[in-house]
Every structure is written in structure tokens, then in C-alpha cells.
Amino acid sequence: MTVEVLGTIFTFVGGLGMFLYGMNVMADGLQKSAGGKMKQLMGILTRNRLLAVLVGALVTAIIQSSSATTVMVVGFVNAGIVNLTQAVGVIMGANVGTTITGWLVSMNEWGAIFKPSFFAPLLIGIGAFVIMFSKKEKRKDVGEILIGFGVLFIGLDFMSNAIKPYSDSPIFSNAFAVLGKNPILAILAGAVITAIIQSSSASVGILQTLAMNGVVGWNSAVFITLGQNIGTCVTALLSSAGANKTAKRAAVIHLMFNVVGAVIFGVLMFVIFTFNPSFANSSINSVEISIFHTIFNITNTVVLFPFANLLVKLSGLIIDDSKPETNDEEDITLMHLDDRILETPSFAVENAVKESINLGKIALKNTETAIQAFLQNDVEKANEVFKNEKLIDKYEKKITEYLVKITNLSINEKQHFLVNDLFYTISNIERVGDHAENLAELAVSKIDHNIWFSDAAYKELDEICNVVLQSFENAILARETENIEYVRKVVKLEDQVDALEEELRDSHIERLSRNECDSETGVIFMDALVNLERISDHSLNIANYVRDEL
């Protein structure tokens, strides 16, 4: 191998690397700038299938990867956030959204002003200045998008320049002639290359780069493109390996959708090429590849959209999930924190918020149970509290690990602030769980020593317990709704708890002084007040984190 050939390979590989890196940087910038809008998209996902198609297209256009979108969908299905019918819509939309990259690549042939060598360096320069000198986070996100855009196009320019000297080489013409005459071989080639590099956008970009140099014919390009759409399914299939059967069905639906589309279009184009050989052997350019890629994916979505339920049923024949894999509430709860959702950081943040709220609701229910156990001397409820506390501790650890992973993703400044607040929020929720456990232990102690409070003491405890529960419930609602009114309620309720705690402490001391209760009973009563007051304090902390974000 000569130095010249080696240099060409290095240039092409370097160009491909810059293309992939630029696409990744641009996608990160787009995701961070989209930020809060992703929360709205997540809500749309659960409405209807048509909206799910639009969400799938939009999310894929933002993150520049249909593979990442589909992997994320597998994660959503595995976590039980969306059902299979909704997942079909997102998968179909992802195929439409991935055509955006092809149009970006084809800008090379729109005119001289759009060529990478003309404006890409300017974009990188502007983006670098914006990132270095701008203090606003949103402007820095725009700078990141510009740099990614510029690097992407310079990478394309590198690849094109590497291939250009060999555009007349018989290697290319012979290879594409063979692929053009063998549709199945061409489809396999497109599928294998895409599966290897794990990106249909990148493989289509490579094909378009070859097309810019006039070495690709219509027949080979069409069948390779169909194969690329099949190859992109491999990522989701691999991702579903560790998922439940329903998530595996989502990955299989993605494969069936693209295979059925490839078969329909493959047969149609084979007939057209057979009756028009001159058209089949004519050169195709990058714009024409973009047009075909777009028409294929949109038509495939329109044709198969009415048969979404049939695809779901067929996936059930391939992957039998009629038998539930788990009924364990703990497994189901922890399953929601699916790493596949990390493919889309903004969705991962919203998922972490959702699961933090779920943790809060579990802790709230456990606190109610602990109070009942304490007031009613109910040992069964106390044991239920001990069991749930173990779940809360495990869940808190799992969410913390998930949040750590999110901090290493591309999220904007507001999302970073939210994630930091979530760390403190789940810590406070876990501490509420600890205090609920303390109340259950006090209940056991009362039962063991046959301790019962006076009617006056029970009435006082019942009053402060109700206010404490209201405080914690409103704190969770504040986190869930981000409504300042709930924060204000928590502040007001916390003041009531503090006043009641002081009042009840004084009245109990008076009962002790009048010998209306013994010292052992008094200690348990005081310990209960301390734990109740601490729960209210943690509720206020949670509400304050929400207030700081508003």
C-alpha cells in the first residue's frame, strides 16, 4: 500500500470521524436549546398514535439519530411509560425525522454558497466566539450548534476530497454495477454497513458523498438506501437484549416496519429499473438520494400507519409476552429508571423528575401507615412500614445513580440546576422515610410495653399528624406541578407544625407534672413530636427547591 493510498484512507476516516462528531455536537446543542420543550413532547407521547409520529420525527430531527430515538422508545416501553401502539407511532416518525441529515448533506449541491469549504469555517468561527464570549447559556447552545454544523460539513468535504481522485477508478464503477444488478446484495451491503457504524444517517452521508463524485448509479443507490433503513434496526435490537418481552416487541416492530417498506419499494423499483435500464444505470446525486430517502420513509409511514395494530399483533407472534415476567412491585418500580432513556437527556431528566415524585408518593403513603400504626398500636401496619422503608432506600439509591449518569450528559444550565435539586429532594424524601420508620418503631415499643395515651394526648397527636401529612403532600404536589401556590401552603403548614409542636410539648410537660402519665410514655410522646416536626422540615426543604427553580 502506497503512502498516497494510505493518506487517502486516513483523510476519509478522519472526514467520517469529523462528520459523526459534528453531528453529535450539533445534536447536543439542539437538545440543550430544546430543553423544556422536551417535557411537552413527553406528554404528547402518551396521547395518540398520530401525535406520536410527529414526536418521533421531531425528536429524531433534534437528536440526529433514528437509532437513538428507537433505543429510547425501547426504554420507554420497558419502563411502562408508553404502550406498544404508541411506540409504533414514534418509530414511524423516527424514520421520517432521520431524513433531515440527508438534506443537510445534500446542501453541497444546492449551489456554490452552500459548499462546506465556503461557509463551514465561518460557522465554526462564529460558534467559537459565541461560546467563549457569551455569558448566556442559550447563546452558548446556539454556538455549539454552529460548531457542530461546521465540523459536520468540513468532515464531508474531507471525505469528498479523499474520494475525488479515484472517482474514475473502475473499482467503484464495477462495485456499484454489481450491486445495481443484485438488489438483494445491495440491500445486504447497506444493512451491514449501517449495522457496523450504528448510524443510518452516517451511512447515507457516505453514500451521498460517493454520489457527489458521480460514482453511484440509481439502481445501486436505491437498494443500498433500503438496506440502510433495515441496518439501523440493529441498534434497537441489540439494546432490547436486556429488556422485557414488550420492549423486545417494540424493537421487532421497528425491524418489521423497515423490512416491509424495503420489500414493497424494492419490488416496485426493481420493476421500474427492469423496464427502464438507462434510468437504472444513470448517475444519482446527493439531492436525488435525499429525495428518494424522504419519499420512501414518508410513503412507508403513510401506507403502514393504518396497520399499526397489525404490526403489534405480528410482533406478539414473534415474541410471546402473554405470560407476565414479573409481578414484583419493587422490580417494576426500579425498571422505570431505564438507561436506554439516557439516549435523550431531556427525556431522561423528565423521567428522573417523574420517578422522584413517585418516590415521594411512596414515602407519603408509608408515613400515613406509620402514623396509623403509632396511633392505633397496629403491629401489622408497623411491619408494613419496615418493608416499604427498604424499598424507599433501594429506590433512592437507584434514582441517585440515575441522576449521576444524567449529570454526565448534554443538558442545559436550567436542567443541571433541576438535577442538583433532585439530588437534595430525594435525600429529603428518604429522610422522611427514616422518620416514618422511627414512628413505626415507637408503635412497636408502645405495643411491647402496652402503652396507651390519654384521650387528650391522642387528640393533640391526631391534629399535628394531619398537618404534617398535608405539609408533605403539598411538597410533593409542588414538585409535581411546579406551582408556587403549593410552596406557599407548605410554608404556612410548616409554621403551624412548629407552633403545634411547641404547644403540645408544653401541654405534655404539664401532664407529666400532674402525674397524668409516666415518664416512659412521656419519652415516646416527645420522640413522636420530634419525628413529626422533622418530616415537616424536610417537606419545607423540598418545597424550597421548587421555589428556587421558579
Percent of the chain with pLDDT over 70: 88
Cell of 512: 407529666
326 by Cβ neighbours in 10 Å (0-12 / 13-18 / 19+) ranks as: exposed
Q: What is the pLDDT of residue 516?
A: 63
Distance CA(62)–CA(33), nearest Å, equals 10
Helical segments of 305-412, H only? 308-318, 329-335, 345-376, 379-407
Q: What is the pLDDT of residue 402?
A: 92
pLDDT of residue 39: 61
Residue 251 reports pLDDT greater than 80:
yes
pLDDT above 80: residue 414: yes
The 3-state DSSP class for residue 217 equals strand
The total of other beta-carbon atoms located within 10 Å of residue 390's CB is 12
Q: Kindly state the average pLDDT of the residues 64-92.
A: 79
- The per-residue pLDDT for 152 is 80
Contact 202, 16 (CB under 8 A): yes
CATH of the domain spanning 344-549: 1.20.58.220
DSSP state of 61: H
Q: Are 226 and 263 in contact (CB under 8 A)?
A: no
* Highest mean pLDDT out of 99-108, 119-128, 299-308, 485-494: 485-494
pTM: 0.75
Work out the angle between the directed axes of helices 116-133 and 137-163 (0-180°, nearest 10).
Answer: 150
The domain ranges of the chain are: 344-549
Cell matching residue 229: 433503513
Q: How many CB atoms within 10 Å of residue 169? A: 12
Cell digits of residue 461: 397527636
Angstrom CA distances, 119 to 128, 420, 549, stand at 14, 39, 39
**Rounded alpha-carbon distances, angstroms, from residue 114 to 72, 101, 109, 130, 204:** 33, 15, 7, 22, 19
pLDDT tens string 120-148: 888 889 989 988 888 787 788 888 888 88
The greatest distance separating any two alpha carbons of the chain, rounded to the nearest whole angstrom, comes to 109
